[in-house]
Amino acid sequence: MCFDRDSRPPIEPASPAGNGAAGTLRSVDGTSFSVHRADASAPSGAAVIVLPDVRGLHAYYEQLAERFAEAGVDALAIDYFGRTAGTGPRGADFEFMPHVGQARYESLVADVGAAAADLRERCQVRALFTVGFCFGGRLAFLAATRAELRLAGTIGFYGIVAGPGRAGMPAPVELAAQMICPVLGLFGGDDEAIPRDTIEAFDAALAAAGIDHELVTYPGAPHSFFDRKAEQFASESADSWRRVKEFIGRLTPTG
């Protein structure tokens, strides 16, 4: 699990009330799945699909979507388990791992596609991004290979880039040559799940493919450092958030 149940994004909210709303979307196979929408009051033309860790849609990601909206980025956080766990709120005791075991890569991609279509239908999107964490970070990197999503860029926080993946997800390092949009990767230097040599291999594969990319490793930071509770890594979190916003801003055409 990426974060503790009481973890929250390390970004100060502009309003305690929040600016998001729960909803559902329908995937191409007819499955309904939960989402959390957060529309920017002063949209920049950028939009982001937030891809959670293995817990699926959790308060951490709902609040992160709202922080994006406050930064002028329309955001939609999605759940992964509509096919096996249904829709609607879940308690802190939700046993997510059996549902992770039943998830399938192509179904995940289809749900990301439904999220992309929803954002483009509702918002004035000039540049669409994915941002994911751990399980979702790997999925975000792989989304860069999917031409149908028409992404302007993708962002992965501590997504495992090599080796077997849950839900049948292939290894991003092996598909770097198929990626078609810029990539930003953010990693912890003390993350035992992601050895440095795998990040270096991903970097080399992206460079060989001619992909605009930046992979940033924060020395001493663990997996899941981007957390309000991880006060000792507040500077790394602040730098990550700055890089995310600059990446999105650089790749979003002006109106």
Q: Residue 62's domain spans which residues? A: 20-251
Phi-psi region of 244 (alpha: psi -120 to 50; beta: other; left: phi over 0): alpha
Q: Which CATH number fits the domain that encloses residue 231?
A: 3.40.50.1820
Give the dihedral of Cα atoms 253, 251, 55, 97; nearest 10 deg: 120
59 falls within a domain = yes
pLDDT at position 17: 60
Tell whether pTM > 0.85: yes
15 falls within a domain = no
Structure tokens at 119: 């954002």
CA separation (Å) from 182 to 117, 119, 122, 201, 211?
20, 20, 25, 17, 6
Q: Let me know: does 38 contact 78? Beta carbons within 8 Å.
A: no
238 falls within a domain = yes
6 falls within a domain = no
User: Which stretches of the chain drop beneath a pLDDT of 70?
Assistant: 1, 3, 16-18
The mean of the pLDDT values for the chain is 95
Q: What is the domain count for the chain?
A: 1
DSSP E strands in 84-200: the ranges are 127-133, 153-157, 183-188
Find residue 218's DSSP bridge partners: 188
Q: Tens digits of per-residue pLDDT, 43-60?
A: 999 999 999 999 999 999
